[in-house]
Structures are given as structure tokens and as C-alpha cells.
Amino acid sequence: CRCCAEGRRHSSILYSILRSQEREAPAGQSPHGCPCGSRRRVALRSPQVVCKAASAVLVKTLRFVQNVPCFQELPLEEQLLLVRSCWAPLLLLGLAQDRVHLETVESAEPSMLQRILTARQQGEQPSPPAPAPGRGHPGPHLPSATEIQAIKGFLAKCWSLDISTKEYAYLKGTVLFNPDLPGLQCTQYIEGLQREAQQALDEHVRLIHRGDEARFAKLNVVLSLLRSINANVIAELFFRPIIGAVNMDDMLLEMLCAKL
């Protein structure tokens, strides 16, 4: 395809564009095997503040994506497929980069036992718990304490490594250009871009952190932590409190096609 044919022409563009982000300003189970964390529901303490910050980070993230010429060379269908699959991990990387802190409180949402006991007292049938949201069509679902802890753990890991602007950019490039998605046509081109982002990260680490031979591996651990966080949880936590039931596919399409 045209993308593959022009791959060599853009072999160095990703490196230079990712570096340009340097100029941007920041805009399971619980311990001891107890499953309680997977049942307890959690909400943001200050949803208006945090959700506003998350929305700003999402806009900035999509602007960054749009400014990568290699991404622009892809057909629109390929662009949408990539963004739909990686918007959540890119958002979390942006939240970590801008040091957006999450303060949460346990929700007053009644447990299944409470619903059963209350319904029996009132002579009613207990209503079933709300189902978890499906892709693009989230239902009422508060994240669990375990899910929130995974997000907080990811942010804490990023902050402990003191990741630089360039390193964040290369990590975003690795996440964005995922050649393993079903339905992609320009897989070789995209795979080359992902490889280039990883090579640029490795070269940067070797140059700046010569005494830390394990840093490249530590940064890739950050990417592995991202894979364990569900995109539906991100949508529920950061967008439902201010937008309501939101179809992320529709919102991403609108934002991607707009001039951010």
C-alpha cells in the first residue's frame, strides 16, 4: 500500500516529531488474597477538577497524535483504529506526565447483600447489580477499589522513575503504533514505526542514563502495567461524572476530525 511504499521516506520523521513534545507544557485482588477490593466501589473525591484535567490531557494527547506526520500518512480508517485501541493508555501516560493526582472515596453504592436484605424487608425482589459496560456503550458502573489501585500504581511507577518528556514521547509512540491490531492493512509500516520509537527510547536512555543499565527495562514495565487497565474503567472514572453515558468511539472520532 502507499503507506508501506513511503515507509523509508518517513523513517526519521517519527524520531524528530516525538522529540518536539519536549516543548509542550503540562496541561485483581487486594493484599493477602482478600477479594474485597474487587467488590468495593470507588469514586473521585473531586470529580469536576480531575475530570476537567483528564479532558484537557485527552485533547493534548490527540493533538500530539495529529502532529505526527507518520500518523497522518495512514488512511483515515487506520488512524481511527489505532486511536480507538490506544486512547486509554495514551491518556494515562498524559496524566502521569502532567502529574494529575487522584483522590478517591469509597462509594455509598449498596452491596448485593445490602440490596437483598433491604428487598426482603420490603417484600420485593432484589434488583441485580448493574452490568459492566461494554465497548463504546458503558452502563452505570463505578470502578472497583482494585481497578483504581491499578491506575494509582501505574501513576506512582511513572513518578518514581521521573520519566522525562522525551521518554514519555517515545513511550506514546510505542503505544500508538501497534501493528497487532486486527483489521490493519499497513501492518509493516506501523510495525516499523513502533520499532523506531523503541530504538529511539533505547538510544536516549543509553545517552542520558549511562549508569542505569536497567532503565530501559523499567520503562517497558510501565508499558506492561498499561495493558492491565481496562479502557471502560478510564471512561467511567474520568468522563461519566461530567459527561454522563459517553460513547468513546463517537467522541474520539469527533475530536480526531476536529482541528484541536
Q: Which candidate, 61, 40, 42, places its Cα nearest to that of 152? A: 42
C-alpha cell at 108: 455509598
Q: Is 190 domain-assigned?
A: yes
Euclidean distance between CA atoms 78 and 256, whole angstroms? 12
Q: Is 193 domain-assigned?
A: yes
Q: Of residues 20 and 189, which shows the higher confidence score?
A: 189
Q: Quick one: pLDDT at residue 169? A: 96
Q: Is 214 domain-assigned?
A: yes
The domain containing residue 82 runs over which residues? Answer: 46-104+141-258
Q: Is 242 domain-assigned?
A: yes
Strands (E), the chain: 42-44, 104-106
Q: Is 208 domain-assigned?
A: yes
Q: Is 33 domain-assigned?
A: no
Q: What are phi and psi of 44, to 5 degrees?
A: -70, 140
As a whole number, the mean pLDDT across the chain is 79
Q: Is 195 domain-assigned?
A: yes
Helix (H) or strand (E) holding 250: helix 248-257
In eight-state DSSP terms, residue 130 is P
Report the percent of the chain where pLDDT is more than 70. 69
Are residues 18 and 68 in contact, defined by beta-carbon separation less than 8 angstroms?
yes
Euclidean distance between CA atoms 259 and 66, whole angstroms? 9
Are residues 136 and 247 in contact, defined by beta-carbon separation less than 8 angstroms?
yes
Euclidean distance between CA atoms 54 and 87, whole angstroms? 12
CATH of the domain at 82: 1.10.565.10
Lowest-confidence segment of 39-48, 58-67, 170-179 by average pLDDT: 39-48
Model confidence pLDDT, tens digit, residues 145-163: 899 999 999 999 999 999 9
Model confidence pLDDT, tens digit, residues 118-144: 565 555 555 454 444 333 333 446 788
Report the pLDDT averaged over residues 64-89. Answer: 92
Are residues 124 and 62 in contact, defined by beta-carbon separation less than 8 angstroms?
no
Q: Quick one: pLDDT at residue 159? A: 97
Model confidence pLDDT, tens digit, residues 25-62: 454 444 444 555 556 777 778 788 898 999 999 999 99
Domain count, the chain: 1
Are residues 151 and 73 in contact, defined by beta-carbon separation less than 8 angstroms?
no
Q: Is 134 domain-assigned?
A: no
Cα distances (Å, whole numbers) of residue 21 to 3, 142, 164, 171, 197:
24, 34, 11, 12, 14
